Amino acid sequence: MPRFAANIGWMAQEVPMLERFQLVRDLGFAAVECPLLYGHDANAMGDACKAAGLEFLMFNSPPGKHEGEYGIAGLKGRKGEFQDSIGKAIDYAQVLGTRYLHVLAGWQMDDWNRDAAFKVFIDNLTWACPVLAEAGLSALIEPINTVARPGYLVQTTKEAQYVVDTVKAAGSANIGIQYDFHNAQIMEGDLARTFEAHLPSILHVQIAGNPGRTPPDEGEINYPFVFELCDRLGFEGWLGCEYAPHNKTKPGATKASLKWAKDFGLG
C-alpha cells in the first residue's frame, strides 16, 4: 500500500505553519515534506514535528537571494553562494531529521545556455553530494514543468536521469530523482512507462491533479491506476501530496480534500 506524506507548504494552510504538523497528524499522515521553509525557525519546526510524531522527509534548497529566483545550482558565477546555501540547508536538515534535499537548479537568465547550465549544475552537485552524504542526506533532482516555472533547467525525467547518472559516475551514490506525476504529465505524458523506466533512480514521488495542482481525485491523471502501479513495481518510497485543497485557508479545507484517501486511512 502506498505511503503518503503531507506537503505542509501546500496543504494545511488553514492554520499557521507550526500548527500544520499536528493538523496533518490528526488526519492520519505519518510524514511531511515542505518546499521552502527558510522563513521559519528550524528549532521550532523540529519541535512541532517531533511533538506530532511525524517524519520530516524533504525540503528544497534555498531558492536564491534575488527576488523571483527558483534555485541557483545551475547558474554560473554563483558557486560560493550555492555552497553557502547547502550549508544552510544542512543546518535545517540536521534539526529536522530530514533524509532528502531537493536541489533547485534555477531557471532561464538573460544569457542562459542550457548546455552550459547543465555543466554548472552537475559541477555543483558533484561538490555538494559528498557534503550532503556526511550529513546523512541524499540529493533529489526534480523535473519541473515549464507552465508553472517557465525556463526551468531540468524539464524532463530523461534530463534528470542524465544528471543523476553523471554525478554518480563521478563517485557519489546519494542522488536520485524526485518524480512528480503532475509535472511529468505536463511535460511528458506516458506516465506508466516513464515511471517504470526510471524507477531504479526514483527516490521520492509527488502527486497532484492536473490541470492545476488540485487534489488527486480531480483532473486527467488516473491516480488509482498510479497507486496500483507503484505497488506493482515495488516502489518503497513515499508519495508526497503536493496539492492545494480548494478554499485552502478555510477551516477544514485539508480534511475535505482527502475524499480520495479514505481507503488509505487518511482524512
47 domain residue, yes or no:
no
Largest Cα–Cα distance in the chain?
50
Residue 33 forms part of a structural domain: no
Would you state the pLDDT for residue 113? 93
Per-residue pLDDT of 48-73, as tens digits, reads 999 999 999 999 999 999 888 999 99
Residue 240 backbone phi and psi in degrees, to 5: -80, 130
67 in catalytic set: no
Report the pLDDT value the prediction gives residue 29, as an integer from 0 to 100. 98
Buried b (16+ CB within 10 A) or exposed e, 142-159: bbbbeeebeebbbbbbeb
Q: What is the CA radius of gyration of the chain?
A: 18
Answer positive or negative: Cα dihedral of 256, 257, 261, 266.
Answer: negative
Q: How far apart are CA 196 and CA 267, in angstroms?
A: 29
CB 264 within 8 A of CB 1: yes
- Total tally of structural domains belonging to the chain: 1
49 found inside a domain: no
Q: With a cut of 50, which residues of the chain have pLDDT below it?
A: none
96 in a structural domain: yes
**Which domain CATH number covers 145?**
3.20.20.150
> What is the 3 state secondary structure string of the chain?
CCEEEEECCCCCCCCCHHHHHHHHHHCCCCEEEECCCCCCCHHHHHHHHHHHCCEEEEEECCCCCCCCCCECCCCCCCHHHHHHHHHHHHHHHHHHCCCEEECCECECCCCCCHHHHHHHHHHHHHHHHHHHHHCCCEEEECCCCCCCCCCECCCCHHHHHHHHHHHHHCCCCCEEEEEEHHHHHHHCCCHHHHHHHHHHHEEEEEECEECCCECCCCECCCHHHHHHHHHHHCCCCEEEECCCCCCCCCCCHHHHCCHHHHHHCCC
* Residue 142 is among the residues annotated as catalytic for this protein: yes
Domain assignment present for 40: no
Residue-number span of the structural domain to which 102 is assigned: 58-241
Cα–Cα distance for residue pair 224/201, rounded to 1 Å = 23
Catalytic residue among 81, 134, 142, 220: 142
In a domain, 4, yes or no: no
In a domain, 42, yes or no: no
Cα gap 214→233, rounded to integer Å: 25
pLDDT, tens digit (0-9, with 9 covering 90-100), for 70-123: 999 999 999 999 999 999 999 999 999 999 999 999 998 778 899 999 999 999
What value, to the nearest 5°, has the Cα angle with vertex 135 and ends 133 and 137?
60
In a domain, 46, yes or no: no
The x, y and z cell numbers of residue 8, run together, are: 505542509
What pTM did the predictor assign? 0.97
Instruction: Report the pLDDT value the prediction gives residue 68, as an integer from 0 to 100.
Output: 87
